[in-house]
Structure 1
Amino acid sequence: MRRRGQGAGVAQRPGDLVRADEQRAGGTGLEVEAEAACLDRPIVSYAPDRAAYRASRGTYVDLLSGRPGGTPGTVATTEGELLEVFRSGEWRSAETTALRAAFRERFCPYDDGRAAECVVRRLFLDGA
C-alpha cells in the first residue's frame, strides 16, 4: 500500500492513501467527506495529527466531534484505533450509519443522486 503524508487517508485509487488536504488543492477534509457521504459510502476519519492541524489551520466544522451532523463516521487518532475500527467492523456499524445519515442531512440536503438525469431532461427532453 502506498502512503503519502501522515494525515487522514482518502482513497483515490484502490490501495492509495493520501491526505485529505492533498486530495483537493486548497480544499478541506469537509469537501472530501461530504462527497463520500453524498454517495452514502462508509467514512473512517484517521487523524493522528488532529491537534497540530487544528493549531496550524483551524477548523470550521469539527469532523471528529462524534456528534451527529458533525462527524460522518467513525474516528481513529492512533494506528491501533484504526486497526481496531476495521477488525471489529465498527466502520460499518449502525452507529456510524446513523452518523453518516445525519451528516448527509446537514451537508447534502439537495443531493438525491439524480443530477445528471435532471440535466438531460432539462436540456434534451424539453423538461420531461
Structure 2
Amino acid sequence: MTPNRAAGTRPPSPTGPEAPDERNGAVRSEDLHVRSYAHDVGYDLEIEVVDDDGSVAFRDRYYLQPGAAKSEVNVVPDGEYEVRAVLDGDSETARRCRIGSDLAETAVVEVGNGILSLTEGLQFR
C-alpha cells in the first residue's frame, strides 16, 4: 500500500521507524497508529490528516484484516492537525491531535465490533 501524500510533506524515512530523529538523535514515535481488534471481519478505513489551512497533509486507505496493525512514521511535519477517519464508508470521527516525536503525540485509530475510535497518544504498560 502506498499512501497518498500531499505536496510539501516529508517522505517516510528511508531507514524505517527506528531511524533517529534528525533534531535530537532520539527514536521517533509513529505519527499514526491504526489497529483492528476484530477477530473475524476485515474493515475498510480511510484516514485524512488535515492542517490548519484545510490542506490534506496525509491521506490513505487501509483494509484491516482481523488483528492487524499499521503505522505511519514521518508522514507529516510535527504539529497539530485534524485527523479524520471513516470506517466502511459509514461511521466517521474527527479529532485534533498533536503529532510529533513523543509517544503522546501519535494519532491512534482503532476499530473492532463495528466501533471506530480516535485517540491521541500511545501507551505501553
Q: TM-score, normalised by structure 2?
A: 0.24
The structure that is helix-richer by fraction is: 1
The structure that is strand-richer by fraction is: 2
- Say which structure, 1 or 2, has more relative contact order (CA 8 Å, 6+ apart): 2
Q: TM-score, normalised by structure 1?
A: 0.24
